[in-house]
Amino acid sequence: MSDWAARVRAWCALDPDEGDRAALEALLAAGDEAALGRHFEPPLTFGTAGLRGPEIAGPAGMNRATVRRATQGVAAWLAEAGVADPLVVVGRDARRGSEAFNDEVVATLLGAGVRVLEMPRPLPTPLVPFAVKAVGASAGVVVTASHNPPQDNGYKLYAGDGAQIVPPDDEVVERHMAAAGPARLGLRGAPGHAIASEGLLGRYRDHLLARFGVGESDLAITYTPLHGVGGATATDLLARAGYRRLDVVAAQFEPDPAFPTLPFPNPEEPGALDLAIESARAAGSSLVLANDPDTDRLGAAVRTPEGWRVLRGDEIGALLASTLLEGARHEGRGVATSLVSSSLLAAMAERAGVSCATTLTGFKWIARAGGPTGLAFGYEEALGFAVDPFVADKDGLSAALCLARLAHQLAATGQDLLTRLDELETAFGVHATSAVSVRAPGADATARIAAAVAALAAEAPRRLGELAVTGVEDLARGWRGLPATAGVRLALGDLGRVVVRPSGTEPKVKAYLELTPPREGSLADQRARAAAWSEGVLSDLAGALDLGA
């Protein structure tokens, strides 16, 4: 235990939380090396969406010491980059621990001589990247774990362009985190501290309303923030945009870090919209809109004669693109999506005369694909959408207004969102997408996930269901000019592809399937053919991915 004693004492010497210090020292006294390993290995690093992990003591968890070290890393990164008189925008969600972690960020930045513009209360995450660009800040920090389970928290870091940091900036921050010593802390009320004004937040609101407001609408909408921070802001925006028939899910409206009505607070998860659909039935709504807990993602469901249908992220992406591509062409801006999302956007953009980029997974890559003029539209299948370049990240609020406007416009001509999807697949062919994920329990989950993905890249099956695997590409070696990333892409000839990768935010492996059947027969025939193929592909793929117990 001598090595553990040195590591625990070194960490505790800089840990400001008495309870966390006591927990680690008790494990050391008990000689519980396995438990200590879970608190120390692997340490949190900046992944797909910043730092994210369980709220536990030690470098493997989100805690006051980790947040303080990360913030020291941010201050040192800005200093190393030669930023003069740096200013950082700081915000948070309403999870357990978020207020204390927010306090650590503010105090550590002020103590390092960095000016702070702090959000006045828990607010939607997109307001921070908006504010970074609006005030010309050097960086932005949001304490949030987005849609992760209740026991998690996280730390999103934005650069001066309002987009999440990418290499090598994350590596610089982590290098300074590892070398962090005692922190000097500042106090609110110091000359370098300010609270973001309601006027600044109003600029965000006014821009969205000018862009996506409809004046007056009879479209009946049910909205839920899934116990997150979006409720008041989203409903205010929808009401001001002209939607008079607005129903809310009362049981999920107020922020609640326990997320009591949800197994996982993620609009992607099966059943996440059940309460919203139940409320929509009672209210006579035709559209359900749902934000995840930090309000940067958008889920949706639509009423059909047969019942309610939850839209996939790729379907929402195609719908939003159908109303934004003309403006993109007029403005000379491009669109972008990730390599795990549908190829339908590229086909639509090509016909519209708009450039379309394919990026690695994560909005830190998508947001930058538009270049200095900004991105007209970007999306990823995991319900992330950017519909206006004034926020250089996914934004569930502006996406909700954009989708509602489209539904309003279609309703005026006797159509709906599903009618538009039929039109798109008639024009471009069926692009049937689905995604599955497998969670890996246990302390060694990360290692087992990496091993499973590597094994698939080394020896992929020759067939998946009825379809032949015609190509195997290890994304760790790069793909079509993109940086290397963990994952494997399996080609299914002209009929589709599968991408398998570790989740960047949770201990699970994810598989993304797209099938493009021949354009023979009716849309119903094509969709049925794709559905049958999909069932076989996903079944065989589950057998090929052995995550162990």
Catalytically active residues are: 146
Question: Cis (ω within 30 of 0) for the bond into 168?
Answer: yes
Alpha helices (H) in 340-416, listed in sequence order = 344-352, 363-366, 396-411
Nearest to 143 by CA among 183, 90, 179: 90
Q: Give the HSE-up count for residue 508: Cα atoms under 13 Å, Cβ half-sphere.
A: 12
The two beta strands, 287-291 and 298-304, are antiparallel
What is the DSSP code string of 269-304?
A: STTTTHHHHHHHHHHT-SEEEEE-TTS-BEEEEEEE
How long a stretch of residues is the chain? 549
For 169, the 3-state DSSP assignment is helix
The beta strand positions in 444-516, using DSSP E, are 463-464, 467-468, 471-474, 488-491, 496-502, 508-515
Q: What is the DSSP letter of 522?
A: -
At a CB cut-off of 8 Å and minimum separation 6, what does 25 contact? 8, 12
Neighbours of 254 (CB within 10 A): 13
Contact 429, 342 (CB under 8 A): no
Question: What's the CA gap between 541 and 538, in Å, rounded?
Answer: 5
Question: What's the CA gap between 212 and 216, in Å, rounded?
Answer: 12
Nearest to 144 by CA among 17, 252, 51: 51
Query: φ and ψ at 57, to 5 degrees?
Result: -70, 155
Query: φ and ψ at 343, to 5 degrees?
Result: -85, 0
Residue 55: both structure tokens together: 């709220």
Angle at which helix 231-241 crosses helix 198-212, to 10 degrees, equals 50
Question: What's the CA gap between 123 and 102, in Å, rounded?
Answer: 12
The two beta strands, 243-248 and 217-224, are parallel
The two beta strands, 193-195 and 356-359, are unpaired
Residue 268: both structure tokens together: 């992607």
The two beta strands, 471-474 and 488-491, are antiparallel
Contact 103, 109 (CB under 8 A): no
Residue 465: both structure tokens together: 């269901």
Handedness of CA 439, 440, 442, 447 (dihedral sign): negative
Q: What is the DSSP letter of 482?
A: B
- 447-539-549-63 Cα dihedral, nearest 10 degrees: 50
The residue type found at 48 is T
